[in-house]
Chain A
Amino acid sequence: MTQSTAATSDTAQSNSHIAIQAQNVTLSLGEGDARVDILKGIDLSIDAGNTVALLGPSGSGKSSLMAILSGLERATSGTVNIAGADFGKMNEDELAVARRGRVGIVLQAFHLLPTMTAHENVAVPLELDGSSDPFSIAAEELSAVGLGDRLGHYPTQLSGGEQQRVAIARAMASRPSIIFADEPTGNLDGATGEIIIELLFERQKATQATLLMITHDPELAKRCDRIIELRDGLIERDSAA
């Protein structure tokens, strides 16, 4: 396996244009004989506003890398800088706070809060961030994803595609500078998945957020500015789309 450098094409680009930077990031779980090295030294730098596809076979470490970059997991070693915040030095609570307004996450299984309506689900990150008018913003976001007439619906009353749209609205609501999407169409049929991808790219373009997306679909990957391929915990290939 080879390890490619993670630098962008323009080395003179100033750091303020770098949304995501990881240096020699490793992740190991377990101890002794049960220890598993999931990431073995990742160097990565992603410019702000770029769309990046993360490819790789099962077990290559894609989800783990995304978890570290989004602050859901702490790296075993290495530095992680996300939109100017050093995630590597933060504890669990500091990471939660750091995610507010900085990071939006869309997951394969949607993970909406089942006892809250679509409107309330989207409002939650805004409320946690201290927004003065979370529900108005939430309504706007839902309208932007075509669910302006479903504000009062609970997740069980929405289709899979609709739930994922709510999840996208929730992720975008606080105008994060970075969006992480972990196989956002994995639980959806082909047609619905297409709609979701279109929506995701549309919202990314509208907000100029950086998008890092895990996908198994090479065609989808080609739509992104950059493709990073992982294998066995290392970056095997990193090329512009």
Chain B
Amino acid sequence: MSGNLAKAWTIARRDLRGRFVGLRLLIICLFLGVATLATIGSLTVSITDELANRGQSILGGDIEVSIAQREASSEELDALRSEGEMSETIRMQAMARLPDRSETQLVELKGVDALYPLYGELLLDSGEAAQKPGPNDIFVTPALMQRLTLKTGDTINFGETSFTIAGVISDEPDRLSEGLSLGPVAITSLEGLRATQLIQPGSLFESKYRVKLPTEVDPTELADRLGEEFKNQAWEIDTRNNGAPGTRRFIERMGQFLTLVGLASLVIAGIGVGNGVASYLRGKQNAIATLKILGADSAMIFRIYMMQIFAIAIIAIVAGLFVGAFIPYLILQFAGDVLPIRPDFAIYPLPLFVSAAYGLLIAVIFALPPLARAKLIPAAGLFRGEGNSWRSIDRSTWVAVLLSIAGIIVLALSSTNEPTFTLAFIGSALGILILLTLLGTLIRWLASKAPRPNQPLLRLALTNLHRPGAQTGQLVVALGLGLTLFATLAAIQTSLNNEIRNTVPTEAPSFFVLDIPVERADEFTSRVNAEAGKADVNIVPTLRGVITEYGGQIVSELEEIPEGAWVLRGDRGLTYSPTVPEGSEVTSGEWWAADYDGPPVVSMDEEVADVLGLKVGDSLTVSLLGVEIKSTIASLRAVNWRNFGFNYVLVFPPNVLADTPHNVAATIQVDEAMEDGLLGILPSEFPSISMVKVKEITSQVSTILNQMAAAIASAASIAIFSGIAVLIGAIAASRQSRIYDSVILKLLGATRTQILSAQAIEYAVLALLLSAVALALGLFAGWFVITQIFEFNWQPDWGVVLLTLGIGAIVTLGIGLVGSIPVLSAKPARALREL
């Protein structure tokens, strides 16, 4: 066996000398696909690794305990202090006001103690580390300076206190672990924060206690022990190994999605691989037949050409890995603030290995079938020109192909945290590929059955679509998938942007207002109406708590949070209501009477209940302000999350929560002209409130969506490039026959313009067909995502979608015409001798 391999390799090397026509397509397609996957994988791992490596400074400690809406008790503080050096911070939303009350700004206000930060440094724009702020000192971010036109030394007010700006923050070491911020950041001392009087029973704030542990202490073990000891206290515990879980989850999820998009692009590249290999082997027919004459059997032929093709494939894959390993460094240099963190350059073997594995599997899937056919070229092929005869593929080749497909699926599933989504994506991509393949076959069939035009050039254009060897089917798949991806992205992105631009202003309130003291709720409503005239004010009680048990399952005993069970992470908004809240509809169980006074019950969102496997009658325990409340699920609700109001997963009857210290929140809908007035007056008259202007939030969301869309489009663009490579390969493969046609037409009197016109018609028909297919599939996919998954209105920007497809069609036509130029210049006499 090894002797046969050695023989095959010797002959393979010799035979590979000279031209690589056909193999160039293999090289380009594999290189593009593997480089894309390697780039995405390396970038994702570099960011998540950096998050893990800088865990201490990102978290602000080795272990962090977060508590919502209260500070730690003395017992809790003692327990934490006994483990190591402990730092306390309190974070909340608050309204910054200029002393003359001319302007206000929603801010994330943070109070820190003398030990903050335990790791890293709070850096100011002067380059120095900030000193512990005095009780009236405050450090702010440049965004706040800009919005309120401030400078160092100026005064701003929060609640009952005035602060002097002592410096501008350039780097807050634990910024990432604080999560999403609705406004700029301001940092003062804990004493200063308490002096604002904004921390009241029921206020929405978060206390964090970070501990610096001795090196021998394992933070994970400590977290488990403390979690067990204080399991009823609604603690949220993180360790330095997971310093910014929300950011990490987002990066991982985005990385996985981009990998799937990159994988779909690699499949397109695989079509190019298959075409390239088939074209290459067609050119080797005589050599194969000659080798058979000389005594090579089909197994030897297979070995020889398999070694050639996979040697080239490995070179392409290695080149792709090289690029994929280094491009993330360039992306990090140019990405600016788009990425949450900027790691140093490093090589990450695992994503490179996975990308190489994908590349090899794709090479096997698409290169084996033409190889299997080529080995069956008979020796008599030299005499009979049997190059285009169909040969069926043997079973062992099918088995290898199917195993490779399974390998890709297994690899994709093993490297994702969301297997259901991954399977759905792979299934959809395969479905689209199959659909495009059938469409390609249909187009060829229709072309063959279409009435023959009288005009010979038109006739030639039409017959070229279905002549033997025509690559119409492969082009429909290769270019079709890329164009479909782009059409889908354009439809989704423009529909989402229009939703934000058109629907939000008409349906969303002008403001969300938090932390209105419950005893001043009526006063608040009256003030708004007095100031704004016609205003729609909706008030709801708002508390925050943590789910600690559901259906008998203690949350702290879970190995990991089940897929889709986001409600179990961190604290949740809670409310109470005597009646079914607006935007909800009871779908199971019974709503309580308005004066219900029985044991604790709760109404739950039906989708969340489904994820947790809960039904009416099951138990649910929440912990708020250190007290556990065990309830029975009385009803399930369908919640309209799109109505821009306050929607809650959990709603209790008044008797359960009304006596718990809490504030109320409100939505205010006013004419746009009244907004600034309210923003100027309400925070000063109600110092504890935070007013969120919806327009600012939607602007931020829109920016983030556009950035995500750009990233997805970049990954999907590889599909387009691969499709173009397939198109170029198809043009090259058909060059001989096109030259022959061109020469005969010239003999018969056709001009070059006429011949080029025939080519133009053919490619124009192909481009139009591809665009029509991509439009139909892309719109359906976009509609499904927008209406069935996001449950938004379907309102794509038709101009953008059609422009996207139009550009794709023009590129297809352009490449086809450029590829036709050499055909036109073939000299008849010489060509007839050589063909």
Q: Do A and B bind each other?
A: yes
Contact status A93-B298, CB under 8 Å: yes
Assuming A99-B293, A128-B300, A129-B295, is B379 touching A92 (CB within 8 A)?
A: yes
Contact status B295-A111, CB under 8 Å: no
Contact status A115-B290, CB under 8 Å: no
Contact status B295-A97, CB under 8 Å: yes
Complex CA–CA separation, A120 to B16 (angstroms)? 13
Complex CA–CA separation, A63 to B380 (angstroms)? 11
Shortest CB distance B283–A (Å): 11
Complex CA–CA separation, A168 to B382 (angstroms)? 18
- A71-128 at interface with B (beta carbon < 8 Å): 71-73, 92-97, 99-100, 105, 107, 111-116, 120, 124-125, 127-128
Chain B residues whose CB sits within 8 angstroms of the CB of A72 once the complex forms: 293, 378-380, 382-383
Can you name the residue of chain B whose Cβ is closest to the Cβ of A124?
B294
Chain B residues whose CB sits within 8 angstroms of the CB of A73 once the complex forms: 380
Q: Is B14 an interface residue (CB 8 A)?
A: yes
Complex CA–CA separation, A128 to B294 (angstroms)? 8
Contact status B291-A113, CB under 8 Å: yes
Q: Is A165 an interface residue (CB 8 A)?
A: no
Shortest CB distance B375–A (Å): 9
Q: Is B17 an interface residue (CB 8 A)?
A: yes
Q: Is B287 an interface residue (CB 8 A)?
A: yes
Contact status A99-B383, CB under 8 Å: no
Cβ contact of B295, chosen from A63, A96, A114, A120, cutoff 8 A: A96
Cβ contact of A115, chosen from B16, B295, B300, cutoff 8 A: B16
Can you name the residue of chain A whose Cβ is closest to the Cβ of B292?
A96
Q: Which of B3-11, B186-194, B314-322, B548-556 contacts A (4 or more CB under 8 A)?
A: B3-11
Can you name the residue of chain B whose Cβ is closest to the Cβ of A98?
B295
- A137-155 at interface with B (beta carbon < 8 Å): none
Q: Is A67 an interface residue (CB 8 A)?
A: yes
B1-34 CB mask vs A (1 if < 8 Å, else 0) is 0010001001100111110000000000000000
Contact status A67-B383, CB under 8 Å: yes
Shortest CB distance B347–A (Å): 37
Chain B residues whose CB sits within 8 angstroms of the CB of A113 once the complex forms: 14-15, 287, 290-291
Contact status A99-B295, CB under 8 Å: yes
| Interface size class of chain A, counting residues whose CB lies under 8 Å from the partner chain | 20 to 34
Q: Is B178 an interface residue (CB 8 A)?
A: no
Assuming A72-B379, A92-B379, A124-B11, is B297 touching A114 (CB within 8 A)?
A: no
Complex CA–CA separation, A35 to B382 (angstroms)? 21
Chain B residues whose CB sits within 8 angstroms of the CB of A97 once the complex forms: 295, 297
Complex CA–CA separation, A166 to B274 (angstroms)? 35
Q: Is B296 an interface residue (CB 8 A)?
A: yes
Q: Is A170 an interface residue (CB 8 A)?
A: yes
Chain A residues whose CB sits within 8 angstroms of the CB of B294 once the complex forms: 99, 124-125, 128, 170
B281-318 CB mask vs A (1 if < 8 Å, else 0) is 00000110111111111111000000000000000000
Chain A residues whose CB sits within 8 angstroms of the CB of B3 once the complex forms: 130
Most B Cβ at <10 Å: residue of A105, A125, A128, A130: A128
Shortest CB distance B351–A (Å): 38
| Interface size class of chain B, counting residues whose CB lies under 8 Å from the partner chain | 20 to 34
Contact status A127-B11, CB under 8 Å: yes
Contact status B14-A116, CB under 8 Å: yes
Assuming A105-B293, A113-B291, is B379 touching A96 (CB within 8 A)?
A: yes
Complex CA–CA separation, A120 to B379 (angstroms)? 20
B351-382 CB mask vs A (1 if < 8 Å, else 0) is 00000000000000000000000001011101
Can you name the residue of chain B whose Cβ is closest to the Cβ of A68?
B380
Can you name the residue of chain B whose Cβ is closest to the Cβ of A174?
B295
Can you name the residue of chain B whose Cβ is closest to the Cβ of A64?
B383
Shortest CB distance A30–B (Å): 12
Shortest CB distance A227–B (Å): 23
Complex CA–CA separation, A183 to B300 (angstroms)? 29
Shortest CB distance A98–B (Å): 9
Contact status A114-B287, CB under 8 Å: yes
Chain A residues whose CB sits within 8 angstroms of the CB of B11 once the complex forms: 124, 127
Chain B residues whose CB sits within 8 angstroms of the CB of A99 once the complex forms: 293-295
Contact status A107-B382, CB under 8 Å: yes
Can you name the residue of chain B whose Cβ is closest to the Cβ of A109?
B382
Complex CA–CA separation, A125 to B402 (angstroms)? 36
Chain A residues whose CB sits within 8 angstroms of the CB of B296 once the complex forms: 96, 128
Chain B residues whose CB sits within 8 angstroms of the CB of A125 once the complex forms: 294-295
Assuming A63-B383, A72-B383, A92-B379, is B298 touching A116 (CB within 8 A)?
A: no
Contact status A115-B293, CB under 8 Å: no
Can you name the residue of chain A whose Cβ is closest to the Cβ of B293?
A105
Cβ contact of B297, chosen from A63, A96, A116, A130, cutoff 8 A: A96
Contact status A115-B15, CB under 8 Å: yes
Chain B residues whose CB sits within 8 angstroms of the CB of A170 once the complex forms: 294
Contact status A127-B7, CB under 8 Å: yes
Can you name the residue of chain B whose Cβ is closest to the Cβ of A127?
B7
Can you name the residue of chain B whose Cβ is closest to the Cβ of A96?
B297
Shortest CB distance A221–B (Å): 22
Complex CA–CA separation, A209 to B166 (angstroms)? 105
Shortest CB distance A51–B (Å): 21
Most A Cβ at <10 Å: residue of B7, B16, B290: B290
Chain A residues whose CB sits within 8 angstroms of the CB of B289 once the complex forms: 111
Assuming A127-B10, A128-B7, is B297 touching A93 (CB within 8 A)?
A: yes
Complex CA–CA separation, A170 to B290 (angstroms)? 11
Chain A residues whose CB sits within 8 angstroms of the CB of B300 once the complex forms: 128
Residues of A at the B interface (CB closer than 8 Å) are 63, 67, 71-73, 92-97, 99-100, 105, 107, 111-116, 120, 124-125, 127-130, 170
- 16 A-B Cβ contacts within 8 A? A63-B383, A67-B380, A93-B299, A96-B296, A97-B295, A97-B297, A111-B289, A111-B382, A113-B14, A113-B287, A113-B290, A115-B18, A124-B11, A125-B294, A125-B295, A130-B3
Q: Which 5 A-B pairs have the closest CB atoms?
A: A100-B295, A93-B297, A115-B17, A128-B295, A125-B294
Given contacts A115-B14, A115-B15, A128-B294, 12 further A-B contacts (CB under 8 A): A92-B292, A92-B378, A93-B297, A94-B297, A96-B297, A107-B382, A111-B289, A113-B14, A114-B18, A116-B14, A127-B7, A127-B10
